[in-house]
Chains A and B, each alone.
Chain A
């Protein structure tokens, strides 16, 4: 009943104050600092540019001019990505990661003033871009939940930097750059190739290029592990953490949801959850017929850490061996959790929502809500936002670009959640969203975000009706 009430068009006098609130809201938010931009963008961007200039200046004479372009592009792209809100500039996060870098640098007597960027990417990875530039992903901060484990990864990236491994890749990057279409003629040829070879082949080529770009040679990875372990051994962090961290990267899956959790957590009184939304569909012969080949559709991307670090098993074995060497610091028992595990998960949910990947945001939010008995306003709001965002994506015919296929996640509970998004009708999703937000406002009467979200949903649906 409640949902039907909200579906009624709102009279103008109700809409007017809402419009005013909508207009003023960004200005009010604007009063606070945007967490996705540096406090002083000019200085920050100047530093990135000067880092590029310094890198170019130290190139030996006779180097291909394209190498210089690579460094300039690096800073330009970082600036562009910062402007696109791809990084987080939060003082607490920054001082935490900077602190680990500082500890390792100081205890090993290195001469380095690192510039550490915290990417909002949920992929579990970190990277060294050379010349003291580092990127730590939010996914890594969430997955490696002790400072020791994080220090082991940071030590590894620090070693890549100190061993100047980027220089080893420069030739490859220059060659690759030559293959990228820049002018109109080349772009036309690129399009012709796309047409000739087909999209799938081109996508595979692109994927392999990205993997190749983000990966160091096997020899360099082992060298970075070795030096990173020494950095760790000279610091106060546990040497045993390196093996733990690598094991956690290997076994990573963020989208693990118990079976039935979707139905339980999206249950509302006003619009009860329907079993048919999560029912497994009929599939010819249960999904396997004749000379069936395993579909690669769901495995297009490898897990990120494995993609850029393929020889993980060997590295774990070596890390365990190193930790047992005399003089290695003992592992703290149990490892102290760092305080940004939960905050980084929230940032990941936010990043997914901002990118329109509502299925991922919904799954992570349901995982969080399932972990704790008491309701958490942030994740409840995220669930509401994800439901609303999914409805929008259907309206815009963008569903297939934002919601992955039902077999995309590995775990059955997460697949069940995807089936729900695939099988619920948009008209049903509308009623469920309104019912969920209505009941959430009752559960969290003081939460302005949830209340605002509900207003936004009502306005959106009313606009659709018009």
Chain B
């Protein structure tokens, strides 16, 4: 060991060991479920992260370990679950007091929520209806519909369930939304689809605060693959379980696929993709973005639409049907709303090729509160080429796109609404990473009315990289090393 190197390190002894200041590599990992690991949100703010690991020694029964991390990815603790070959973890949420874990047993067709305290001690459980839609084979259908199965809420957890009335998926299905309080003695409430409903129904979480939960309810008309649906918005008292309002456009009206909501003062703002009168909510070429302001009693205060065909003509060559010529289909990944009612739409152009996705440019549209276009950014991030057919060569575009999203074929990483900003992140296309040996993250943050661009680079040597939203002004990057089966988790600070 050369002394000069030693001196440099000694220099840092009271400083920090360079390159590793905010890095950590959690030990004892054998298998990490990246897709099921993610941030913990409490009151809309990221309070930490959870990672689901699976341990299995030869000849022994495998078991899950749930690891919690703080905002800087320092380990807070872990909770091992009893060995059980059939046990699966579906979702994890933390509401500031309790940890809720959705668990499934596909062999016994059971699903339930377990609530834990800070010592990792079991508090109580709530049984949920398991259905064919929970089976791994139905993952594609669920991906198409979107939404989260469990979210943290004030004093408890909200669970969104969907199940067919019969054994077959084609039959009429219904949703059930359940509020599970932290304490076992409080029963909470649940609500389900109306039995008189014409078609199958499903529910998607839109937003909540300490007294209200708002979810979108879609009603399917015909087969799930036609994508023909209507969608409305329903508000319930979070603690009372009483229905407060509902809003559903008439069938002859323009239809919206609602994606996000936000309670701002005494108003509710909901946003979604506009599909015209076609009722094909799950389309690969939405005609625009709808923004609806409602009172907390469900009265429509304002409804506005950004038409891709009319309002984006300065930026693209758009056909009358709303398709952007020469670029490809547009997949709207997510929409964010700020407290100032500014809106950020994150999309990605793609083409369907050999039953897979060819992800092209990213798209960001920043709308002012009056829905006028402030900024349109095409993100030249490189192209991710199709890897192989995913068995859907004959499937229609929207289905392939939904599955492509589920299988991470797109380069979009996330859109995150913070308290004061909205952050969007795209990976560089795989072709760019291959050519440069570097992986880049194209990050745009809406801050003080302006989209601030940033680019974070690191070597593309890891076997897997996932990027998660983080505390304001940061990204959380998790790199996986296949050989050592270890994670390198670190925070990247943005130039905000």
Which residue numbers of A lie inside 8 Å of B, CB to CB?
73-74, 76-78, 80-81, 84, 86, 119-125, 137, 139, 176-177, 180, 195-201, 203, 207, 209-210, 213-214, 254, 281-293, 295, 297, 300-301, 303-304, 307, 351-352, 355, 357, 360, 394-395, 397, 399-408, 422-423, 425-427
CB-CB under 8 A from B20, the residues of chain A are: 199, 203, 300
B contact residues around A287 at 8 Å (CB) = 70, 76
Interface residues of B in 106-150 (CB under 8 A from A): 116, 118-120
Cβ of A422: which chain B residues have Cβ within 8 Å of it? 72
Beta-carbon contact of B21 and A403 below 8 Å:
yes
Residue in A176, A292, A357, A397 whose beta carbon sits within 8 Å of that of B76 in the complex: A292
Which residue from chain A places its CB closest to the CB of B19 in the assembled complex? A401
Report chain B residues within 8 Å CB of A74: 3
Given contacts A121-B11, A357-B16, A400-B490, contact A427 B456 (CB under 8 A): no
Known A-B contacts A295-B74, A405-B74; the reply to A86 vs B7 at CB < 8 A is yes
User: Are B484 and A196 in contact, with the CB atoms below 8 A?
Assistant: yes
User: Can you name 18 A-B pairs with beta carbons within 8 Å?
Assistant: A195-B484, A214-B6, A214-B10, A282-B48, A284-B99, A289-B119, A293-B77, A295-B75, A301-B14, A351-B11, A400-B23, A400-B491, A401-B18, A404-B15, A405-B72, A407-B72, A425-B472, A426-B494
Q: Give the distance in Å from the alpha carbon of A177 to the alpha carbon of B5 in the complex.
A: 13
Q: Which residues of A contact B493 (CB under 8 A)?
A: 394, 397, 399-400
In the docked arrangement, what's the CA distance between A196 and B8, Å?
Answer: 26
Closest 7 CB pairs of A and B: A290-B120, A289-B77, A292-B77, A77-B3, A285-B118, A198-B484, A200-B25
Residue among B17, B70, B79, B496 making CB contact with A425, cutoff 8 Å: B496
Which of A125, A293, A394, A400 is close to B75, meaning CB atoms less than 8 Å apart? A293
Instruction: Please determine whether A284 and B94 come into contact, CB atoms closer than 8 angstroms.
Output: yes
Please judge, given known A-B contacts A198-B484, A400-B21, whether A427 and B77 are in contact too, CB under 8 Å. no
Q: How far is the CA of A78 from the CA of B275 in the complex (A)?
A: 72
If A292-B76, A426-B473 touch, whether A73 touches B2 (CB-CB below 8 Å) is: yes
A195 contacts B76, C-beta separation under 8 Å: no
Known: A198-B486, A297-B24, A402-B21. A282 touches B45 (CB 8 A): yes
User: A292 contacts which chain B residues (CB < 8 A)?
Assistant: 75-78
0/1 string, B51-81, CB within 8 A of A gives 1: 0000000000000000011111011111110
A288 touches B72 (CB 8 A): no
Neighbouring B residues of A427 by C-beta, 8 Å: 447-448, 496
Q: How large is the interface on B (under 10, 10 to 19, 20 to 34, 35 or more residues)?
A: 35 or more
Binding site for A on B (CB under 8 A): 1-25, 27, 40, 42, 45, 47-48, 68-72, 74-80, 94, 96, 99, 116, 118-120, 447-448, 456-457, 471-473, 481, 483-484, 486, 488, 490-496
CB-based nearest B residue for A298: B74
B71's contact among A281, A397, A404, by CB below 8 Å, is which?
A281
Q: Complex Cα distance A394/B495, Å? A: 6
What is the distance, in angstroms, from B9's C-beta to the closest C-beta of chain A? 6
Partner pick for A210 among B4, B6, B70, B473, CB 8 A cutoff: B6
A292 to B67, CA, bound (A): 9
Query: B11, B99, B488: which contacts A120 (Cβ < 8 A)?
Result: B11
> If the complex has contacts A122-B14, A176-B1, are A291 and B71 also in contact, measured as CB distance less than 8 A?
no
Docked CA distance A196–B16 (Å): 25
Rounded to whole angstroms, the CA-CA distance of A381 and B492 in the bound complex is 28
Instruction: Establish whether residues B74 and A404, one from each chain, have CB atoms under 8 Å apart when the complex forms.
Output: no
Question: With A and B bound together, what is the CA distance between A288 and B381 in angstroms?
Answer: 40
Pairwise interchain contact A401-B1, C-beta atoms closer than 8 A: no
- Residues of the B chain whose Cβ atoms lie less than 8 Å from the Cβ of A120: 11
In the complex where A283-B76, A290-B119, A292-B76 touch, is A210 in contact with B1 (Cβ < 8 A)? yes
For A80, give the chain B residue with the smallest CB separation.
B4
User: Which residues on the B side are within 8 Å of A122 (C-beta)?
Assistant: 11, 14-15
